Structure 1
Amino acid sequence: TNKALPPAAATSADGAPGDPSAALAPLGHPTGAYRAALQRVFDTGQPQEYYRTVDTPQGEVYYQTLLVPELCDGSIDTVLAITHDITALKQAEQALRAEHQHVREAQAQQAATDSLLRRTEAVARTGSYELELATEHFQFSDGLFRLFGEAPGAFFPTLSFIAARSYPADVATGQQVLAQAIADGQPYHYQRRIYWPDGQLRTLEAHGQVECDALGQPVKLLGLLQDVTEREQAAQELSRVKDELTQRANQDYTTLYNSIDEGFCVLEVLFDEAQKPFDYRYLNVNPAFEKQSGLRGAVGKTLRELVPTVEPFWLEVYGGVACSGIPARVESHVEPLGRWFDVNAFAIGLPPHRRVAVLFEDITERKRTEEALRTSDTHLRQAVALAHLGICHWDYQADRMRGNDERFLMLGLSPGQEVLTGAQVVALTHPDDRETWASIRQQLETQGEFQASYRIVRPNDGAVRWLSEVGRVVEWQQEKPAHISSVLLDLTADHEAAEALRQSEARYRSLFMNMEQGFCLIEKVATAPHEPSDYRFLAANPAFVQHTGLADAVGHTIQQLVPGAELHILAVYDEVVASGEPRQLEEYVAALDIWLAAAVAPAEQPGRLAVLFSNVSERRRAEQTLRESESRQAYLLALSDALGPVVAALEIQAAVTHTVLHHFQADRCYYGEIDGDTAIIRQD
């Protein structure tokens, strides 16, 4: 071993120097991996590498050992173990991996920023670029490609390409502006007209700045462009109107006045000695002026004569236009008139005349509509809060969900968390319902919308909550869902109520099936005016069949099952239906030969009755037998009393017939003798 080998590498496990295998094992006892590497040297005759990590008080130390065989007479005589301390290399690799992770995170953030920029550019119709002056290399944003009427990345931007697509007269102007900006190092601004592939001419307005290096030399141009075609067309239209009003004859001027819906007027701005505007006079107005402004007889009068309390703001606007000659576009409210106006003002005539033409429109209704929309949006937000709806915006491809406070509270999370991943939401889902998310993804990818119910286990209190969620894809990218909006509703109370109802129904069903009394639910059916009432059986328990013997009653009517049913019983049913008051009755049903004791009560739905009854036939028969026995005993006692004092046969006959007549309450009673086929009446 040389001096560079760490001391621990030159000893064996017991510290004895000179152990060959120990000397070849860096920093400690030979390991299985090391012995395997050494064996491969002898097996293959080729060098092998071996790596080892050693924990030291200063931290982990990494070593690399190269095992190199030396041959003598064709066989391995010696193996050289060359050990390097690669700790610095390993630490550099770890730092590089950490840096790579940081770069990936920064790239993800940049991707989100780029996405926001792309959407913002699409809304604002803007685009941006970066030009390396040394290489003339352009970098276009997606929005700038669209400003050229092309899809992002549809062409490779170069100066020559831009010049070829530009309006010829604007090429030199643009070059001069950029050259001056590069020379001065100052921000620049210019307009350039460009042709779209379909031949349409669009106007782009550019704002940019020059970036310089540490020596102050310009190296890069950064610019933002906006499509101002419609604005320029409007400005050109105003300019055209201005030129036309100046050049055309009074007839054309009057025709224009009478044709436009917007209000138009020419003002003379009045200045004081300090050259500050203090009023203006109406020199001319078109027919639409009165409708748009609400001012009558304005020509020749000043603003303060018509509207004494007008805001100074309008004097400043029109005074500025009259002095500078720069047109102004204003949208503001005139408090004394109670109206909103959209105003385009521009100077006309010679500067000393201080005249301003104003093209304006009453936009009060539009403003009211906008305010109504804002109020509606506020009300919608309040309704969402009151309805406890959880709102979610799901970046499907990044698998990141953003929601309102209510959604996080439903999930048992802090609203400050703001963002959840799909994996986090699945982890919150009840284990038995986690497969629901696979179904949700399938619905989104095949149908573009989803509807699902699932349970979650809230981490803050462990409570299980039932949630229902519906959502729809609001943006697709490459035929795959990109962004989804969904609404979440907590249905726990409904599920708990349904479960309580189910248990209640189970108890009712058990009682219904096992109770001794017969029970049926009946509904009155329509009958002809002169026919008796009738009722259809809607439900009946097993005891109903046992007491009545009527099987399969449900769906049939009383008249169908019991023709000639007692009308007075049906009349009682009719009274309960009409009055809503329960009744009790005990009646004999001749067709069934049974006595029933029943309680009849109205059901919740009109026309329906609940009937709970018992078969009291046995009790009634026992009572009848008892009454008959008591009557017989009374008769025999009366007959005994009547026969007591008499002995003669005729008197006995008379006493018997008289007693029988009164006992049975008969009209007549005969006493006769039967002799063969002959009956002889002896007493009448």
Structure 2
Amino acid sequence: MTERTGNKVPNNVTHKKEFPEEQFTGFYLPFEQFLAAVPDLYLILSPDLIVQSATTAFLKATHHQLQDLVGKYFLEVLTPGLSLSNSTAAQRIQAAVQETISTQKPQRVVGLEGHVTFMPSRKKPGAFKKWNILSTPVATKPSSLEAILLKFEEVNLPATPEEGKVELETPPVAPQNGISIGYAAEVPEEDFLLQEAQEHAIARENLFKTAEEVGQFGSYEIDLETGSLTFSDGMFRLFGEEPQSFTPTLDFINSRVNPEDIIMVRKILDQAASDKKPYFYTRRIQRKNGEWRQTESHEKVICDAAGRVVRLIGLVQDVTDRNTTEKEFRESKKLLQSVFDTNLMAFSILEAVRGHDGAIQDFRIKMVNKALEKQTQCTDLVGRLYTVEYPGIKTAGLFDCMLRVMDTGETSQFEYHYPHEGFNHWFSCTFVKIDNGIFASNLDITTRKQAELKLAEQTYLIQRITETVPDMISVMELKSRKTIYQNKEIFTLYGYEPEVLESLNGNEKSRLIHPEDQPVLAEYFEKFNTIGNEEINTVDYRAINFLKNWQWFHARGKVFQRDENGKITQILNVIQNITKRKNAEQELKESKEMLQEAYNAARQSKDQFEAAINVSPVVLSILKTVRNEQHEIIDFYFEWVSKSGENLIGRDVTGQKLKENFPQLWQIQVFQQFAQTAETGKPTDYESHYQSDELELWVRWKAVQLTDGLFVSVEDITERKKGETELVKNLTLLRQSEELVGLGSWEYNPETQEFKWSDGMYQLFGLKPGSPWPWKLTWIT
């Protein structure tokens, strides 16, 4: 047992020790109801002398709240502000309580005088009073102290010290949080003993009767030597009888007990008499009105000096209501747990854990559901401390939020990211205060948050794209033509103020469209009522901007949204400014018309050209190259041949290959000349003798590069070649004749003043043939 000196509280004592009601009473008792009903001033102490509770009468008299007293050392409550280490009154009170603890017998402190300013006298406030304090042990088992009751009994004194002739050794001290006690010189106790004993007996009897009635219990005593049975008033009430209205017997008890319980109880009593130990049993009894009730009995065996069992004393309580309540509680808890477990949201109930100063230090997990166990991968959370299991709640700010909820009572709902203890998730959380704790719900919203983040990224990307693309993008309500979204910068670029556009009604907007294009634009919108989601609707139209410039636009539209009935409500339009293209198309159209006119003129010229060509003896043709995989020229084919060519060849060779028709050209190096011209662009001017089965003639081949081919002219020079041959023969004969007879000949051109000498002429003058002529001719006229 803990020893205490003065009002000092040992460091190893925890003020707020758990003190269940069952430990105090030894049986079930509606404790708060009992404390409220008792009319006397009681403090209930733990064996450590820590205040555990007080009667309502005590609280009223002291003007205190129970929470102001619970957890304090009892002398701190009784004697605030006094130095009790030297106080005779405090020493007497503590000595009496210590004696109660050591002997487990009641002790009385008599004749303490005090001035109690916050505990009003029944006569008038501030009166001097004399107090008797009764210290009573409470034990449910021998040598097992569960609590101590301190009862304060007021003894009337004269109103002032002069009237009562009592001299105080020290003046009374103004109270702070407890009973302020001054103390007087020793007062003889014998004057009060008889009165105190009587008062104590009456008070104890009244307290016991009140407790029996409030707690629905009774007591009995069986004298085994005489067989007599004694009932308390409460015991009569348990059977539904008027207190002390008859003499109870064992036969009476058996007549009111369920027959199934009689044998069981008899065995327990026999065993208790044999073991001489306390015993306990439950049985069902029937009240006078026929109602069955469930009772619990705590019994004690009394032996004489020789060790023989002489008496049985029992305390019986009606636990029917308690059992019903406990059953309902178990069923409610089971139902609550099943409701919790079927919910996909993680739930927990947390109880505040407070320090000596009442401040919340942590929360103990009292209940969780399956969803939370799955979320945390932990199935044994109940009973653990929240911050020990999840210290990250302080870093994340959750613990501070919980404290605010406990302080203000206001529900808190928020979303948070929790990256601690191996988690990396987003949660939606709700904290609700319930009594001395919190109901917490946690929903894992990581998937939603990731989707929101992705959507935000996509939205930003789409926004950047719509701001970057050169097209105008808009989302429009189909029925009202109201614009829901548009990339404003692009609209502004093309001379449209988005805010002004949004303010225009339908008629005002239609006036921006070219009158000739309004029907096709109306048809464009009407078509959306019949197209599918993947179809694209298009239209070209003209519109005037705010700069009074007409512009061409190409709109491509697609279904953007439908209602629940499948009807289109919104459309997406991508509008491209095609003014330049339309202008180019107009210019191209005009160019085509001009080209057609030029073509017609050229066609007429071509006909005339071909007519002229066809009468020319020169053969004209266009050849296109034929290449292999290495892009080397391996042949040509005739794309076009003049009429003179057909006449010379004797057939139409258009589209045919050159090698198939004129293989001799490879032998006389004409093909090689043509290929070189086609590759390098260097013109061909080549004369050769051509002979085939069909033809034999001298030809002058001329060719120029024409795209990937040649424009070729073939001239028959056979007659010229014959003349040149004849001339060579004549010149040879002339040279031989000049050498033979010693003659020379010359030729003079008056226009060019050019002389031409034969070889014989050079020889007459002793010159080498072909050397420069040294004389100037001045004698020729």
Q: TM-score, normalised by structure 1?
A: 0.41
Bigger CA radius of gyration:
2
Q: Which has the higher contact order (CA 8 A, sep 6+)?
A: 2
Q: TM-score, normalised by structure 2?
A: 0.37
